[in-house]
């Protein structure tokens, strides 16, 4: 299976380890990724709240690029996934399509009828492949808190492969990898990602709740699949520690890094050395 891979803006910058580990794991599992040529920002959770048409056209542009290659679109970032899936659905609706196509045709793009599905990395890993027989290095003794956030499984009509309110796919994947999964009740509570810059204090409060719970459950690390969540939970973790005078030092890893380790891929090859909050305690526990 070959996918048009849509890394989105973050996987080429602040979430490089997500990009590297996704490519490594997919290669190991025999799933081919061809990066979508000339992709653009999907507009995230922001663009459509400034202009619906601009937001939809931005996201639809990537779907149409995948359409032209006759391939399904694989998005890794939860925000990109959500917006792309929403755009793919809008292209199937006549009224919505009529709003989007004039903008795209001005960009020199034509919308065809081919039915491009939008998939997420977690969906493919949990539902398309069986990794259980390929585990070379079980992650024994590692306690993980799986955090899904908002857009990975919501809204359900765009996703449908896991529960929108109590998802389990990453929990199951982590268990298959040999890790111990803690009962993380806040796993679908939003971290405040889209409002981080203009409403920093609020976003910090929301993120702090998640760090507090994961820490109180004794998790060695949090596992997630969204670069925007990682931005709040990892990159801004030192700021939150400072603002609240607390200490977490909680490693935040992408699900693909956890799976990569269990598949026997060397940590360096997965980009684990690129984290800002040191993942060394996790690696030490696993004997690296």
Partner 1 sequence: MVAKKKCFFGIKTDRQVDGDKISQKFMDKVIAEGGENAAIASCMQCGTCSGGCTNIDRMDISPRKLILLLQRGEWETILKSNTLWLCTSCYTCTSRCPRGVRPADVIEAVKALAIREGIQNDSTRFNQIFVELVKKRGIVFEPELMHQYGGIEAMLEQAELGVKLALRGKLSPFPAKVKDSKIFNQALEKASEK
Which residues contact partner 1 by CB under 8 A? 9, 12-16, 38-41, 43-54, 57-58, 90, 93, 95-96, 99, 103-104, 106-108, 149-151, 154-156, 164-165, 188-190, 192-195, 197-199, 202, 206, 235, 273-276
Nearest to 122 by CA among 202, 225, 33, 216: 225
Q: Between 82 and 174, name the residue whose CB sits nearer to partner 1.
A: 82
Sign of CA dihedral 158, 161, 163, 169: negative
Q: Between 51 and 127, name the residue whose CB sits nearer to partner 1.
A: 51
Report, in Å, the least distance between residue 114 CB and partner 1: 22
Helix (H), strand (E), coil (C) string for 148-216: CCCCCCCCCCCCCCCCCCCCCHHHHHHHHCCCEECCCCCCCCCCCHHHCCCCHHHHHHHHHHHHHHHHH
Report, in Å, the least distance between residue 110 CB and partner 1: 13
Q: Between 106 and 133, name the residue whose CB sits nearer to partner 1.
A: 106
Sign of CA dihedral 188, 193, 194, 200: positive
Q: Between 96 and 123, name the residue whose CB sits nearer to partner 1.
A: 96
Report, in Å, the least distance between residue 183 CB and partner 1: 19
Q: What does the DSSP 8-state code read for residue 15? A: T
Q: Between 50 and 183, name the residue whose CB sits nearer to partner 1.
A: 50
| Dist. CA 42–CA 98, nearest whole Å | 19
Report, in Å, the least distance between residue 164 CB and partner 1: 4
Report, in Å, the least distance between residue 233 CB and partner 1: 14
């Amino acid at each position: 299976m070959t996918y048009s891979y849509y890394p989105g803006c973050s996987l080429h910058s602040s979430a490089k380890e997500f990009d590297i580990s996704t490519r490594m794991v997919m290669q190991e599992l025999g799933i081919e990724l061809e990066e979508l040529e000339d992709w653009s920002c999907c507009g995230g959770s922001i663009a459509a709240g400034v202009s619906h048409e601009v937001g939809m056209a931005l996201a639809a542009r990537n779907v149409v690029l995948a359409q032209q290659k006759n391939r399904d679109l694989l998005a890794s970032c939860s925000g990109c996934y959500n917006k792309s899936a929403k755009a793919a659905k809008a292209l199937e609706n006549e009224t919505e399509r009529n709003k989007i196509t004039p903008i795209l045709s001005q960009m020199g793009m034509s919308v065809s009828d081919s039915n491009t599905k939008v998939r997420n990395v977690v969906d493919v890993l949990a539902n398309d492949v069986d990794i259980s027989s390929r585990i070379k290095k079980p992650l024994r003794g590692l306690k993980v808190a799986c955090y899904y956030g908002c857009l990975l499984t919501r809204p359900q009509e765009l996703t449908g492969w896991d529960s929108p309110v109590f998802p389990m796919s990453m929990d199951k994947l982590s268990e298959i990898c040999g890790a111990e999964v803690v009962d993380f009740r806040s796993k679908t509570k939003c971290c405040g990602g889209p409002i981080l810059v203009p409403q920093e204090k609020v976003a910090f409060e929301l993120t702090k709740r998640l760090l507090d719970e994961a820490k109180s459950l004794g998790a060695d690390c949090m596992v997630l699949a969204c670069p925007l969540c990682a931005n709040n939970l990892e990159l801004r973790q030192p700021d939150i520690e400072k603002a609240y005078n607390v200490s977490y030092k909680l490693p935040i890893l992408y699900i693909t890094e956890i799976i990569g380790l269990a598949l026997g891929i060397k940590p360096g090859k997965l980009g684990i050395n690129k984290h800002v909050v040191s993942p060394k305690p996790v690696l030490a526990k696993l004997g690296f």
